[in-house]
Amino acid sequence: MDALQIIELIIFGLLAVAVLYQLYAVLGRRVGRQPTDRAESTHSKLPGFNRLRQPAQPEVVLPEGVGALKAKDSSFDPGKFIVSAKAAYETIVRAFIGGDRTTLRPLVDDVVFDAFEAAIKQREEADRTESMEFLQPVRADLESAAVDGDLARAKVRFLAEFRTRTKDAAGEAVDDRRTAEVWTFERMFSSRDPKWLLTRVDAAEA
């Protein structure tokens, strides 16, 4: 091997080392932003970033009268009450449409039951039957609460969309309805039965 070949081998060796170094530099380096980069760059600019504060929770504004009701009955929970009121609404509406007096009777007071009974009897005398289905989840909002001596009262606004099917001598009719109503529920603190009863139904703006 002459001197020229030796020099060529040395040059090729140096080139190979340079190429390997470049490959290492590229492959060994993170490409693009990593998941921790943003957190590090953001937090590092904040004083005391190791002690991150939790975002402030929005203040919950309770309807009028809820404080007085809770003062009288510490177990009253507005959230749980709305869930129960919503279930009662759906049950009562279905029972009324279906003429189910047995289900209605323990959920409403005498005045409301008499009104429902009159409407159900009128349908029966006309040989008309109805069925229904909710088209959307019912929306329920606690509007107000009050305490009157031994009586607790709560008003709930319901917004519902449902479809009724009516059958009579003329045939079958389908009607989609969107209703907004305010229902008043009451119960006596001294009663052994803590159940709330529907005592009034008022139309409301949708």
Strand 129-134 to strand 151-168: parallel, antiparallel, or no bridges (unpaired)?
antiparallel
- The answer, as to whether pTM is greater than 0.75, is no
Q: How far apart are CA 99 and CA 113, in angstroms?
A: 12
Q: How far apart are CA 72 and CA 180, in angstroms?
A: 30
What rounded mean pLDDT belongs to the chain?
80
Q: How many residues does the chain have?
A: 206
Amino acid present at 97: I
**Which CATH architecture is the domain 66-203 placed in?**
Roll (3.10)
- pLDDT tens, residue by residue, 2-40: 544 544 545 544 444 444 344 333 334 443 444 444 444
- pLDDT tens, residue by residue, 73-118: 999 999 999 999 999 999 999 999 999 999 999 999 999 999 999 9
